[in-house]
Chains A and B, each alone.
Chain A
Amino acid sequence: MVLKVGDFKTDVHNDWCPGCGDFGIVNAIQMALAEMKIPRHQSAIFSGIGCSGKTSHFINVFGIHTLHGRVLTFAQGAKIANPNLEIIAVGGDGDGLGIGAGHFVAAGRRNVDMTYIIFDNAVYGLTKGQASPTLKLGEKTKSLPTPNTNYNVNPIGLAIASGFTFAARGYSYDVRQLKDLIVAAVNHKGLAFLDVLQPCPTYNDINTRDWFSGEDRIDETTKKPMPRIYKLEDTDYDPVVHFSDETELNQKKTQAIVKSLEWDSKIPTGIFYKNELITPFTRRLTDKIPNYLENPSALQKISRDGKSITNIDKILDSLDV
């Protein structure tokens, strides 16, 4: 059976606000899944809480809508227990970088082979627009009583510092590029992080779609807007760590962090960093459990006719008096 994008859509009513950036992300995920021809039952979307948390209900694969900030814990548990599953975790920036920041960092250290997409709009939409971790210091979005008093977190920089081996940024109104980035993230061997700039039309009146496309910056000669977003793939930027060497690694990490700090007048999208020389967690487990990948927890038989088939004789013998 040939899978089409439509096969990955559910008939669940989507209640996001008109014009929400989230639609582009869901479409891109569905397109990516169709393109990769992953059988529906072999993939699962895990989501956090908030508008983005509803994503799993709109995609016709296993959908696990978890708790605020905890999506990575559920997703990693499933992937480690059954490494044959293709797992994409999604959540908002408040979910992943605020309440879930500890899990974000720990996930980087593990480098479990899966994908994590953050819907990054700098506000807590579903609770009506409070400042989220990526909102810049001093900015006052629509529903804030006073300007934001916290410095913003840098998602790409934090991912790289935490050990994620793939860090990229997409833009929810560029669905084609986003789809390509999701495919690249899923195909990456290790934990892939994708930060998606996703304007919240209701509560973020600063980083709007018009702002990203530069409607406020008209080129005097062409009389056209000068978009803030540009693509790394259109430059000579090389995100890949090619060989296991400290200098190479440090250079690629630092250039990615420096690049991720660009904002305001030029905002890069694309792959910032990619390193497949670090072993994924699932591979690391084979060091201690040699047949883990062929016989992971989810494939193991534990009983026959209602009786356990685990042999504990040796353990008990060692306790014999």
Chain B
Amino acid sequence: MATDFTWMIGGPQGSGVETAANIFSQVFSKMGYQIFGKREYYSNIKGEHSYFAVRISDEKIRSSVKGTNMLIAFDAETIFRHADDVLENGIVIYDSTLENMRVSDVITFENDFKNRLENLLKSKNKEVTVKGMLDLASENGVKVHSVSFRSLLTELSEKLENPRIKNMNRMFNVLGVSLSLGLLMIPFEKLTESINSIFSKKKSIAEINVSAANFAYNYAAAKFEHNNLKFETKDVQDNTILVQGYYGTSIGKIIAGCRFQSYYPITPATDESNFLETNEILEINEDRPGSTLVVQTEDEISAIGMAIGSSLTGVRSATCTSGPGFALMTECLSWAGINEVPVVITFYQRSGPSTGLPTRHGQDDLLCAINSGVGEFPRIVYASGNVSDSFYDTTQVFNYADIFQVPVIHMLDKFIASSVTTCERFDETKVNIDRGKLLVEIPSDNYNRFAYTEDGISPRSKLGLENGIFWNTGDESDVQGHISEDPVNRVEKMDKRQSRLDYILEKIPEYEQIVQHSEGDFCIVSWGSTQGPILDAVDMLKNDGIDIGFIEIKLLHPFPKEVLKKSLSNSKTIINVEANYNGQLGSLIRQNLEKDPDYYILKFTGRPMTCTELYDTLKKIVNNNAQKREVLTYGA
């Protein structure tokens, strides 16, 4: 029987939930398991509820599932929010001192949630306390282990004769993860190894955490009643890496030769810029060190303005943002469009409208990315479906920008940004760099930046290049780049720019435009990070003997109408899956294929789709008892 186990730890923001989950993920990845972790948190610095769910399996996994097998809680809120989500035969390890906490004691609950929770407990004739909640879990067949985290610290403090440890509540996270690993009888050295690697820069902190881990691990191994769960150590597959979601675009930018990134802080995009700045000095083969200049600007307008300015000097340049930031960039985007400036905007979506759910997932900016800006100009909108794809796609979007001389918007989202997964080591040999018609020298002084050519793309000079002087303007301009309001020139220039959309569709290989993952009478059409849950759900259905097709659209603008039409020709039923309210890709399909998808599976709670709920819904569709529009809501 294949292992498929979901472990969750929750706690107030700032209590080290993420560190605990990173330790857990490292331990299991070192034991040869596949990892898929996701982080959920409020827009808050300290105190609000955050949690991390890590799914482990011995088979390839790409998403989360419904339900938890093991829950670690050192605060009441985690129990109230998640205990009813623990599956039959699952386990809860919680802090026994919380037992009598009441729902009303948790000040961070939204009123709506509080009412729902109280109603739930009352309807089941349970106390509105942690105990009531745990009783409910027990009734569901969950094994509950209680331990006082405080007493553990006190005992450890006495054992190590270090009185300070007694009050180190910030070690609750390490105690929690160690208790679970002790109960699961995971080899302790894997835990030590992970802690040492995570705290590698702080030796003394690593040491104290290893002591605490050892203590909690032994406590659980000795005191908790054992279960029949077994996790054998396997050989780690060659070339496996454990990555945070935003590493794909970050490392992709480094190898693609992006040497300038300007940004304004915004969740969930900032991590990427931070990574680039942390790794700003670059090792270059057979050359002196290079560097990525990372500039934090005063706002997103400046971020895109600077990136365009940098691009004019011939540098591969980018900015990274989220919806509200992108909204501010659109005037400059139009400027890059009319001036045919290659620039990459890495767009980590979150859930809108406006500030919306600022730390939650969403795919509701697709039409915004395609349509916003002043007037009509060519751009590319390209989406990645997972971390590994995002690495290769990042190297490719810089090529697109250079070859087609257009701004490229690379779509990702919070689900990808804050997931942690094992994947195959990124392969540098697959990365190609094509700078298109960027000139390195110009022999004589009769250069025209916007000269007409057969393919509509002009040789590109850069600031500083001798004989390559040009002008740019946000006004319509002539071949040199000087303002022109002449109607004939206007038509020629519009044709020159807009014909590029057809040229892009002609030049980008079909397999880079859409990916046909599988074929079937029923065919899912989707884009971006829904790829993971869809692939997992399709696999689950395959086990049931049902073949479902899945087409992932990567090139969203210009829309690969013909390729999609061809790919869909053998499918009878089209199912549109997206994390937004309106089915934005669905509207593109209606517009381009003059065909309304038969079903829409949508989710807009700000929580990513699980493969389980997708599986359930697809099954309903196959069994012909689904609504045209199915809305998914799972997740706390």
Give the secondary structure class of A's interface.
mixed
The answer on a CB contact under 8 Å between A314 and B283 is yes
- Asked whether B299 is an interface residue with its Cβ less than 8 Å from the other chain, the reply is yes
The answer on a CB contact under 8 Å between B432 and A67 is no
The answer on a CB contact under 8 Å between B260 and A81 is yes
21 A-B pairs (CB sep. < 8 Å): A41-B469, A46-B309, A62-B464, A63-B471, A66-B305, A77-B311, A77-B312, A78-B310, A78-B313, A78-B463, A84-B464, A103-B301, A289-B293, A295-B288, A296-B293, A301-B287, A302-B290, A302-B316, A306-B432, A315-B251, A321-B30
Q: A71-110: which residues lie under 8 A (CB-CB) from chain B?
A: 73-82, 84-85, 102-103, 105-106
Interface, chain A (partner B; CB < 8 A)? 10, 12, 39-42, 44, 46, 49, 54, 56-57, 60-67, 70, 73-82, 84-85, 102-103, 105-106, 285, 288-289, 291-292, 295-298, 300-304, 306-316, 319-321
Q: B30-55: which residues lie under 8 A (CB-CB) from chain A?
A: 30
The answer on a CB contact under 8 Å between B306 and A77 is yes
Stretch at the interface among B234-242, B361-369, B565-573: B234-242
Stretch at the interface among B206-214, B274-282, B615-623: B274-282
* Top 3 A-B pairs, shortest CB-CB distance: A77-B309, A302-B257, A73-B305
Give the distance in Å from the alpha carbon of A46 to the alpha carbon of B262 in the complex.
Answer: 19
Of the candidates B280, B310, B483, the one whose C-beta lies within 8 Å of that of A57 is B483
Q: Known contacts A60-B469, A67-B331: does B242 contact A321 (CB below 8 Å)?
A: yes
The answer on a CB contact under 8 Å between A64 and B312 is yes
The answer on a CB contact under 8 Å between A316 and B241 is yes
Beta-carbon nearest neighbor of B284 in chain A: A309
- Asked whether B307 is an interface residue with its Cβ less than 8 Å from the other chain, the reply is yes
Chain A neighbourhood of B483, CB < 8 A: 54, 57, 65
Interface, chain B (partner A; CB < 8 A)? 26, 29-30, 236, 240-243, 247, 251, 254-257, 259-260, 262, 279-291, 293, 295, 297-299, 301-302, 304-317, 331-332, 335, 395, 422, 425-426, 428, 431-435, 462-475, 481-483
Seed contacts A309-B285, A312-B251; 9 additional CB < 8 Å A-B pairs: A56-B471, A66-B472, A67-B474, A70-B331, A77-B306, A297-B259, A300-B315, A312-B428, A313-B428
Give the secondary structure class of B's interface.
mixed
The answer on a CB contact under 8 Å between A66 and B335 is yes
The answer on a CB contact under 8 Å between A301 and B242 is no
The answer on a CB contact under 8 Å between B257 and A303 is yes
The answer on a CB contact under 8 Å between A315 and B474 is no
The answer on a CB contact under 8 Å between B293 and A319 is no
The answer on a CB contact under 8 Å between A310 and B293 is no
The answer on a CB contact under 8 Å between B464 and A316 is no
Q: Known contacts A65-B475, A81-B310: does B426 contact A316 (CB below 8 Å)?
A: yes
The answer on a CB contact under 8 Å between A80 and B295 is yes
Q: Known contacts A54-B483, A80-B295, A303-B433: does B475 contact A320 (CB below 8 Å)?
A: no
Q: Known contacts A65-B474, A73-B301, A297-B259: does B431 contact A308 (CB below 8 Å)?
A: yes
The answer on a CB contact under 8 Å between A67 and B332 is yes
Chain A neighbourhood of B317, CB < 8 A: 77, 81
Chain A's nearest CB lies how many Å from the CB of B84?
Answer: 34
Which of A40, A57, A74, A310 has the most chain B CB within a 10 Å cutoff? A310
Beta-carbon nearest neighbor of A292 in chain B: B291
Of the candidates B309, B432, B481, the one whose C-beta lies within 8 Å of that of A74 is B309
Give the distance in Å from the alpha carbon of A75 to the alpha carbon of B314 in the complex.
Answer: 14
The answer on a CB contact under 8 Å between A66 and B316 is no
Beta-carbon nearest neighbor of A65 in chain B: B473
Give the distance in Å from the alpha carbon of A66 to the alpha carbon of B287 in the complex.
Answer: 35
Of the candidates B254, B298, B428, the one whose C-beta lies within 8 Å of that of A106 is B298
Chain B's nearest CB lies how many Å from the CB of A37?
Answer: 15
Of the candidates B259, B293, B426, B463, the one whose C-beta lies within 8 Å of that of A62 is B463
Chain B neighbourhood of A319, CB < 8 A: 241-243, 247, 425
Chain B neighbourhood of A64, CB < 8 A: 309, 312, 463, 471-472
The answer on a CB contact under 8 Å between B240 and A73 is no
